[in-house]
Amino acid sequence: MTTNRRGRRIPAVTLALTLGPVFGLLVASCGSDEKSSTTTAAAATVEISVTVGKDSAADRIENIALGSKVKLTVVDPNADEEYHVHGYELGDGVEMAKGEPEVFEFVADKAGDFEVESHTTETVLVILHVS
């Protein structure tokens, strides 16, 4: 047994319960490269491609980790159109030519659900779920 500052004896079980978690945190934070691989994965670019009328749908949800770089490519093979990403204010005022890809690149720094939709018809192409 160990004694405290007042000379009282501290049972071994109490020491183990008090110091065990602290020791575990110290050991867990040493040596492993796992953290660097997780950081690298979060910094990777998430690429999402949407072709209107082919793989676009209001119930299509793309999950994105908060802080990820995003490259969203939208193609409308049928018409000139303006598409935008709600919440990130991307695409407003930019009309895409029929069949030409429009690329939106941004950092997903806001959590939530963000619709990518037509400015004209308000048709939702995909929902970006950032968490």
Asked if 46 and 64 count as a contact pair (C-beta separation under 8 A), the reply is: yes
- Check whether residue 22 and residue 76 sit in a common domain: no
46 and 21 co-located in one domain:
no
* Residue 82 in domain: yes
**Are 45 and 16 found together in one domain?**
no
CA distance 65 to 47: 12
If one counts the domains in the chain, the total is 2
Q: Are residues 89 and 112 in the same domain?
A: yes
Structure-token match 């930019």, residue found: 94
Domain assignment present for residue 36? The answer is no
Query: Is the distance from CB of 70 to CB of 48 less than 8 angstroms?
Result: yes
6 and 64: one domain? no
Beta strands in 7-130 (DSSP E): 9-10, 45-51, 61-64, 69-75, 81-85, 95-96, 102-107, 112-118, 124-130
Q: pLDDT by residue for the chain (131 residues), tens digit each?
A: 554 455 555 555 444 444 444 444 444 444 444 433 333 444 689 999 999 999 999 999 999 999 999 999 999 999 999 999 989 888 777 789 999 999 999 999 999 999 999 988 999 999 999 99
